Amino acid sequence: MKFHREKSPEPEINLIPFIDILLVVVIFLMLSTTYSKFTEIQMNLPVADAAAQQERPNEVIVAISSDGQFSVNKREIQSRDVQGLSQAMAQVTQSIDNPMIIISADANASHQSVMMVMEAARRNGLNQLTFAAQSSNGKAD
């Protein structure tokens, strides 16, 4: 009589299906996560430290007030659309060789107002644009 039992194989854990499931969960979490948006950051843009501005005869200063009013070289523009702004810029720049447009916008001016100035400059073929900023010590540059 044989009372000898057969040895049962040792149980082993197969990790490959477990790793596959974890990878699927990680990919799902990466794709479904929402990220914070940059528009939620509070910004105060019109402050910069730069060298003092030099006076140049070919500069055209376009100022934008906080309520969206435009002025070109200290002459107020009644129109608040791109067409009127474009005509005013054309009148001022017709006698200037290679004009440089300086956009001087109030800190509370809308982004749309700045884009309108840039569009008016593009319509007139004026491709030299720059932005005026206020230095951190309060003097305009």
Q: Residue 101 domain-assigned?
A: yes
- Please identify which residue in the block is written with the tokens 């435009």: 70
Q: How far apart are CA 129 and CA 132, in angstroms?
A: 10
- The separation between the first and the last C-alpha atoms of the chain, rounded to the nearest angstrom, is 106
User: Whole-model pTM?
Assistant: 0.56
Q: Residue 6 domain-assigned?
A: no
CATH of the domain at 115: 3.30.420.270
Q: Residue 63 domain-assigned?
A: yes
Q: Residue 72 domain-assigned?
A: yes
Q: Say how many CA atoms lie within 13 Å of 43 toward its Cβ.
A: 8
Per-residue pLDDT of the chain (141 residues; tens, 9 = 90+): 566 677 777 778 888 889 999 999 999 888 887 665 544 445 455 555 555 555 667 888 888 888 888 888 888 888 888 888 888 888 888 888 888 888 888 888 888 888 988 998 888 888 888 887 765 555 554
Parent domain of 105: 59-131
**Count of domains for the chain:** 1
Q: Residue 138 domain-assigned?
A: no
